[in-house]
């Protein structure tokens, strides 16, 4: 994708704001990328539409192309859609013993993931966990869980041949209560595809155990099928989250976005291998990068934005150190303040901040006032801005009138600029070290 987008980016023109055409061109490629990453068509369509509305009209950062900036917006939106509000790694396991029901198709990685999560709960959260296999269909399925249990040092419910899944679930609950377990995990059987018998069985287990969490385990490599599986299980059983396995493979993770969009349920963990510690909390950033296949572009855009801010601050610092502070500087300051919705952000970057802040506070600065002051400065000529002391009474009247304000307001502004300029000169004389010391006060 990066290559294809690169071509599009080159054709895009640089200008002040993202035009509708810029956005459309870049988004066409993004849509293809989403589909290639296995995001379903309606989900991709909705997503692109949402981004288009957000991106059009946004200011373009100078050091990147509009196309790259669209990608950044796409990335941020992807992250937003994938995340939701919850902390994905936090399972609801208060009120012991808390049942966790593991569901999914056969071979998706349920048994493996059950053990991985049990290990995580034991080691990271210090929980006492009991695992029970309800898989009465597949030969040796119960033994598989038992072996994993021994391996990770987590108890498993003793195997009783001939019991049905509901009876096993009941026994697990009793054992968990009596044994003082914090959590008990029910690893259910799967089928190769969704069928009535499977769903009825899982439903029955759900009804007797009343699980705190119902985690659907799906193979991340199955793409669209994974989404159908999620839709079906959520409708029939009601899931509280998804674990995407085999993300160590080369699946592109588009299923994550579709699943989230279709079910509204969060992705909680990703499986990254067969080993017991190959489980990670879901990180939307990584999947978003994977879906778009363009991690470097995103970090580039971020860096460019930071660089611009730093450059501007440094340029100002240099002038301040020379004791220069004219109306242009003041205007820039005022504009920054408006942008940051307060003074702290901007001033925090500069030495002498505390003092200046006091000065500004004294002047009673709010948004409306900032706008008026900027308007006053804009009414001045270039020469006047660089050298405000040349202003005569008649010019002052004209400037104030031009901005729709009183001369007294303009005088206040001039006084503020003079005071700041004086302060800069004083601090400039003290040298860099002195300024910093001053700033610490």
What is each CA distance from 252 to 31, 161, 415, in whole angstroms? Answer: 14, 41, 61
Answer yes or no whether residue 107 interacts with ligand GDP by CB under 6 A. Answer: yes
- The helix (run of H) or strand (run of E) holding residue 103 is strand 98-103
Applying CB under 6 A, among 67, 97, 108, 351 the residue interacting with ligand GDP is: 108
d(CA 253, CA 220): 7
Interactions with ligand GDP, residue window 297-336 (CB under 6 A): none
Closer to ligand GDP at the Cβ: 101 or 327? Answer: 101
Q: Reduced to 3 states, what is the DSSP secondary structure of residue 243?
A: strand
Which residue's CB atom is positioned nearest to ligand GDP? 271
Peptide bond into 24 cis (omega under 30): no
User: For the window 211-230, what string marks contact with ligand GDP as x by the rule CB under 6 A?
Assistant: ------x-------------
Pairing of strands 241-245, 267-271: parallel
Nearest to 172 by CA among 97, 92, 120: 97
Answer yes or no whether residue 290 interacts with ligand GDP by CB under 6 A. Answer: no
Answer yes or no whether residue 190 interacts with ligand GDP by CB under 6 A. Answer: yes
Q: Which among 34-42, 103-111, 337-345, 377-385 is the span making contact with Mg ion, rule CB under 5 A? A: 103-111
Answer yes or no whether residue 112 interacts with ligand GDP by CB under 6 A. Answer: yes
Pairing of strands 155-156, 241-245: unpaired
Q: Determine the size of the site formed for ligand GDP (CB under 6 A).
A: 18
Binding at 175: pick from ligand GDP, Mg ion, none (beta carbon under 5-8 Å per type): none
For residue 185, list its beta bridge partners: 100, 131
The answer to whether 104 is annotated as binding is yes
Say if CB 107 and CB 190 are below 8 A apart. yes
Query: Sign (positive/negative) of CA torsion 427, 430, 431, 433?
Result: negative
Binding at 248: pick from ligand GDP, Mg ion, none (beta carbon under 5-8 Å per type): ligand GDP
Answer yes or no whether residue 110 interacts with ligand GDP by CB under 6 A. Answer: yes
Say if CB 357 and CB 438 are below 8 A apart. no
Nearest to 258 by CA among 224, 235, 288, 289: 224
Interactions with ligand GDP, residue window 230-259 (CB under 6 A): 245-246, 248
The answer to whether 107 is annotated as binding is yes
Answer yes or no whether residue 273 interacts with ligand GDP by CB under 6 A. Answer: yes
The answer to whether 105 is annotated as binding is yes
Q: Please, what is the minimum distance in Å from the beta carbon of residue 131 to ligand GDP? A: 12
d(CA 172, CA 272): 29
Q: Please, what is the minimum distance in Å from the beta carbon of residue 184 to Mg ion? A: 17
Q: Which among 32-40, 126-134, 271-279, 316-324 is the span making contact with ligand GDP, rule CB under 6 A? A: 271-279
Q: Which among 107-115, 152-160, 260-268, 334-342 is the span making contact with Mg ion, rule CB under 5 A? A: 107-115
Binding at 112: pick from ligand GDP, Mg ion, none (beta carbon under 5-8 Å per type): ligand GDP
Say if CB 125 and CB 117 are below 8 A apart. no
The answer to whether 398 is annotated as binding is no
- The helix (run of H) or strand (run of E) holding residue 130 is strand 129-133
Q: What is the dihedral of CA 134, 135, 136, 137, to 10 degrees?
A: 160
Applying CB under 5 A, among 52, 111, 146, 421 the residue interacting with Mg ion is: 111
Binding at 89: pick from ligand GDP, Mg ion, none (beta carbon under 5-8 Å per type): none
The answer to whether 247 is annotated as binding is yes
Q: Please, what is the minimum distance in Å from the beta carbon of residue 222 to ligand GDP? A: 12
d(CA 250, CA 259): 18
What is each CA distance from 340 to 57, 218, 334, in whole angstroms? Answer: 19, 44, 10
d(CA 310, CA 425): 23
User: What residue numbers does the annotated binding site for GTP cover?
Assistant: 104-111, 187-191, 245-248
Residue ranges of the annotated binding site are 104-111, 187-191, 245-248
* Sites of contact with Mg ion (CB under 5 A): 110-111
Residues that bind ligand GDP (CB under 6 A): 104, 106-112, 190, 217, 245-246, 248, 271-274, 278
């Amino acid at each position: 994708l990066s290559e294809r987008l690169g071509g599009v980016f080159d054709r895009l023109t640089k200008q002040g704001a993202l035009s509708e055409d810029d956005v459309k061109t870049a988004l066409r490629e993004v849509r293809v990328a989403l589909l290639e990453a296995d995001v379903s068509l309606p989900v991709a369509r909705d997503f692109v539409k949402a981004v288009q509305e957000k991106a059009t009209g946004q200011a373009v950062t100078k050091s990147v192309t509009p196309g790259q900036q669209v990608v950044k917006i796409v990335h941020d939106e992807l992250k937003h859609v994938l995340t939701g509000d919850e902390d994905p790694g936090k399972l609801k396991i208060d009120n012991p013993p808390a049942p966790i029901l593991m569901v999914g198709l056969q071979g998706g990685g349920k048994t493996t993931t059950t053990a991985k999560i049990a290990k995580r709960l034991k080691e990271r959260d210090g929980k006492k966990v009991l695992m029970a296999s309800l898989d009465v269909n597949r030969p040796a399925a119960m033994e598989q869980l038992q072996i994993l249990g021994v391996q990770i040092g987590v108890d498993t419910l003793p195997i009783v041949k001939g019991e049905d899944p509901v009876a096993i679930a009941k026994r697990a609950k009793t054992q968990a209560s009596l044994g003082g377990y914090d959590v008990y995990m029910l690893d259910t059987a799967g089928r190769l595809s969704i069928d009535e018998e499977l769903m009825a069985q899982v439903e029955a287990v759900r009804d007797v155990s009343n699980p705190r969490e119902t985690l659907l385990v799906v193979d991340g490599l199955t793409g669209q099928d994974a989404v159908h599986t999620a839709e079906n299980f959520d409708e029939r059983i009601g899931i509280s989250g998804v674990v995407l396995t085999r993300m160590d493979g080369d699946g592109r993770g588009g299923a994550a976005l579709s699943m989230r969009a279709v079910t509204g349920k969060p992705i909680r963990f990703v499986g990254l291998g067969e080993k017991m510690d190959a489980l990670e909390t879901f990180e939307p950033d990584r999947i978003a990068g994977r879906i778009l296949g363009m991690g470097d572009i995103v970090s580039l855009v971020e860096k460019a934005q930071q660089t611009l801010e730093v450059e501007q601050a440094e340029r100002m610092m240099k002038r301040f150190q020379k004791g220069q502070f004219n109306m242009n500087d003041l205007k820039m300051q005022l504009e920054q303040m408006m942008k940051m919705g307060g003074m702290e952000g901007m001033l925090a970057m500069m030495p002498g901040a505390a003092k200046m802040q006091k000065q500004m506070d004294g002047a009673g600065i709010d948004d409306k006032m900032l706008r008026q002051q900027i308007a006053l400065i804009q009414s001045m000529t270039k020469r006047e801005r660089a050298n405000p002391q040349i202003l005569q009474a008649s010019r002052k009247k004209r400037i104030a009138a031009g901005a729709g304000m009183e001369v007294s307001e303009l005088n206040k502004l001039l006084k503020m600029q003079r005071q700041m300029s004086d302060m800069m000169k004083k601090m400039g004389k003290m040298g860099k070290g002195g300024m910093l010391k001053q700033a610490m006060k």
